[in-house]
Amino acid sequence: MEFDFQSNDMTEPCFLADAMLGKLTRYLRILGYSAEYTQEEDSKIVQRFKKSRCIILTRDKFLCQRLPRNCVYVNSIDVKNQLIELKLKTGIRYELPITPKRCSLCNAPLRRIGVMGDREVWVCTKCGQPYWRGSHIRRIENVIREINMMFGE
């Protein structure tokens, strides 16, 4: 399957994942991509996936085969390997935004609220979760850097 991230409707790809891929979904949000995941039952998921314009991510190979397009079957268990698999299958680029863009909990955009002490702080426009650059994001940065090095990026 081909994924053309350069064409018009894929310049800002969005993702819709099944409930098995919650952690991958959070990583994609931190990378700035819109990523939702659904915990609906199978019969409803297929309908929702069929209607979605987003790239579908699932650990269910058979579900992928039932969808006409834009479905990525993710075989790996841990999130780093899942990110590598997704990159191999779609050619997606991973680049951490200079400032955080999306809430990793709910996918809504963040708004900068100012500086507290020596930290810049952002807050989720939907759920109110505060964000700043801490050790958590540095671990994720390291994972992304390792993956990009593997691909010579």
C-alpha to C-alpha distance for 135 and 121, rounded to whole angstroms? 15
DSSP 46: H
30 belongs to the binding site for Zn ion (CB under 5 A): no
Helices (H), 31-94: 42-51, 61-66, 79-90
Instruction: Choose between 13 and 100: whose C-beta lies nearer to Zn ion.
Output: 100
Q: Identify which of 129, 113, 153 has the alpha carbon closest to the alpha carbon of residue 26.
A: 129
83: left (phi over 0), alpha (psi -120 to 50) or beta: alpha
Instruction: Rule CB under 5 A: choose which of 88, 127, 130, 151 binds Zn ion.
Output: 127
110 belongs to the binding site for Zn ion (CB under 5 A): no
Instruction: Choose between 76 and 129: whose C-beta lies nearer to Zn ion.
Output: 129
Residue ranges in 57-96 that form contacts with Zn ion under rule CB under 5 A: none
113 belongs to the binding site for Zn ion (CB under 5 A): no
24 belongs to the binding site for Zn ion (CB under 5 A): no
Binding interface with Zn ion (CB under 5 A): 103, 105-106, 108, 124, 126-127, 129
